[in-house]
Amino acid sequence: MKQNVSAPIYSITPFTLLDYPHQSACIFWFAGCNMRCLYCYNPEIVYGKGRITFDKALQFLKSRVNLLDAVVFSGGECLLHKKAVSFIKEVKKMGFLIKIDTNGSRPDILEELIQKGLINYVALDFKAMPAKFAKITQSKLFIPFAKSLLLLLHHTVPFEVRTTVHSDLLNKRDIQEMVFFLENLGYSGNYYIQHFINGSSTIEKLGHSFKELENQNIGTEKIKIHFRG
């Protein structure tokens, strides 16, 4: 997968109140990804090339100091980029909170960011258990994901776990297995189920997704299910 090293950011969302809990933020959408999730609604970001340099992104942030609380690094997969750590360090120096949206495939980079105290919040995408992971993501990256999850469980950086559900790909039993997996590793708290948005342009052509899980009892005493979308 080729990256535009000189201009790694595909686009910037200048303002959001939805993507960082209780904070105003902007989003940097990094081009490129090492997964090809069938339901991905950002194919232009996954397959596309970046258009915005780090210098231009920093110029944008200078105009947002004292206006925004946080910067969300998303994509694509933001942690794939060679200079991601140094860039995040520069953004952190400006006084912004840092949130990372990640598929968990780069536990080494995630650990470096944690050790250097550069991140404040992580959203970790739990795609599926191994039996369906390769089919859904078109990758063999479950083990790195699991390492990232364990890493977060052993540190104090606040994080959430989230799963996008298309009814053709994941069912109640799958989610129950994922909840059981999380609980066995010691995770407790919120688990966000994101309904696939019908009508989206996706990597794979999929049928209509039905919201079959909302009336199902799939949470546990330790893990509370919250639905989005």
Write out pLDDT tens, residues 48-107.
999 999 999 999 999 999 999 999 999 999 999 999 999 999 999 999 999 999 999 999
- The token pair that represents 111 in the structure block: 């650990």
* Architecture of the domain made up of 9-227: Alpha-Beta Barrel (3.20)
pLDDT at residue 1, as a whole number: 47
Rounded (10°) CA dihedral 21, 14, 198, 204: -110
pLDDT at residue 103, as a whole number: 99
Write the single-letter amino acid at 78. Answer: C
- Beta carbons of 213 and 165 less than 8 angstroms apart: yes
Return d(Cα 1, Cα 159) in angstroms, integer: 28
Band (215; pLDDT cuts 50, 70, 90): confident
Predicted model pTM: 0.95
**Residue 4: is its pLDDT beyond 80?**
no
pLDDT at residue 212, as a whole number: 86
Q: What percent of the chain has pLDDT over 70?
A: 98
- The token pair that represents 19 in the structure block: 């993507």
- The token pair that represents 17 in the structure block: 């109140």
Band (201; pLDDT cuts 50, 70, 90): confident
- Name the average pLDDT for the chain: 96
Domain ranges of the chain: 9-227
- Beta carbons of 28 and 77 less than 8 angstroms apart: no
